[in-house]
Amino acid sequence: MMATRAGANMIEVLLYALLAGLGVAAITGPLGAFIVWRRMAYFGDTLAHSSLLGVALALLLSISPTLSVIATCLVLALILVMLQQQKGLASDTLLGILSHTSLAVSLVAMALMPDIKVDLLSLLFGDLLTVTGKDVVIIYAISLFAILLLLKLWKPLLAITIHEELAKVEGIPVTAVRTAFMLIIALVIAIAMKVVGVLLITALLVIPAATARRFANTPEQMAIFASLIGCSAVIIGLSCSWYLDTPVGPSIVLSAGILFLLSLTKKYN
């Protein structure tokens, strides 16, 4: 009886993990394609790191961590864009400062909250196996919203990616589109945190998209293939983790990395 219940629980845990992983991979594919095209990998990485600040804030203020992470990422994204326009420091230097300072601030802040026990490892590398049914619902709601928003922004965002000033002259509201794009990144970071943790989110964005490039002839193909490759990585990684008892987040990223290596055997389209 106990064994059966444990078995049923195990299947539930695995199913939730799988569903959550697939829900996140669906949006990290197309979003990752834009991150790659716009050369924003480091930008995404910085935001992902600073999302830990959102977690620390949520603990401090006892508010929803998902909401807090979205808000923190969005505010930091807008500050970053503003700072990048100042031209005082090179963009990657600025990102490097912000990325690691925010990571350090959140780690120190969490250490200073003695009443709260934080599982740092699961924050940094994800803990898909603790995902609940409620988490799955939140992940799908956010993922779906992000996908719809990205679909709506698709054409103007593509135009901006190719030439921002040309797009602006042609009447595209560049600032609004870019801000909405930042919102999508913030949303995706908030849900991807659970799957692969703050340190590995960029991997889930960049690796499937880079893998998909070799098979795609259009931007849309690349986005869809990236989603499918991300989903495959989730399935393979989760299976590995199940059979080999390896950490889930890193297993998923490793699977994506291996798929990328395999794709190198194919000629560029």
Partner 1 sequence: MSEALIQLQGIGKYFNNNKVVSDIDLSIEDGQIITLIGPNGAGKTTLVKLVLGLLEPDEGRVIRHSNLRIGYMPQKLHIDPTLPITLGRFLALAEPNTKLCIDALKEVGIEKHIHSPLQSLSGGEMQRALLARAILRKPNFLVLDEPVQGVDVAGQEELYKLIGQLRTRLPCGVLMVSHDLHLVMSATDEVVCLNQHICCHGRPDQVSNNPAFIELFGTKTATYTHHHDHEHGLHGEVVHSNDGDSSGCQHD
Report the site for partner 1 in 132-171 (rule: CB under 8 A). 155, 158-159, 161-163, 165-166, 168-170
Q: Does 40 bind partner 1 (CB under 8 A)?
A: no
39 binds partner 1 (CB under 8 A): yes
**Which residues, in sequence order, are CB contacts of 98 under 8 Å at separation 6+?**
46, 50, 76, 80, 83
Check residue 44 for interaction with partner 1 (CB under 8 A).
Answer: no
Binding partner 1 (rule: CB under 8 A), the pick from 49, 178, 194, 213 is: 213
Tell me how crowded residue 97 is: count the other CB atoms within 10 A of its CB: 13
Compute CA distances 204 → 160, 188, 247, whole Å.
23, 11, 15
Confirm if 212 and 260 have CB atoms less than 8 A apart. no
- Cβ proximity to partner 1: between 6 and 162 the closer is 162
How far is Cα 33 from Cα 150, in angstroms, rounded to an integer? Answer: 11
Q: Could you give the CA distance from residue 17 to residue 31 in angstroms, rounded to a whole number?
A: 21
Asked if 70 and 58 touch (Cβ cutoff 8 Å), the reply is no
Nearest C-alpha neighbor of 205 from the set 23, 34, 21: 34
Tell me whether residue 218 or residue 265 sits nearer to partner 1 (CB atom).
Answer: 218
Smallest distance from the beta carbon of 38 to partner 1, in angstroms?
A: 8
- The nearest distance, CB 86 to partner 1, in angstroms, is 10
Instruction: Indicate whether 232 belongs to the interface with partner 1 (CB under 8 A).
Output: no
Residue 269 is a binding residue for partner 1 (CB under 8 A): yes
Does the footprint of partner 1 cover residue 218 (CB under 8 A)?
yes
CA atoms of 101 and 104, how far apart (whole Å): 5
Tell me, residue by residue from 191 to 210, as one string, x for binding to partner 1 by CB under 8 A and - for no binding.
------------------xx
Q: Which residues form the interface with partner 1 (CB under 8 A)?
A: 36-39, 155, 158-159, 161-163, 165-166, 168-170, 209-210, 213, 216-219, 221-222, 269
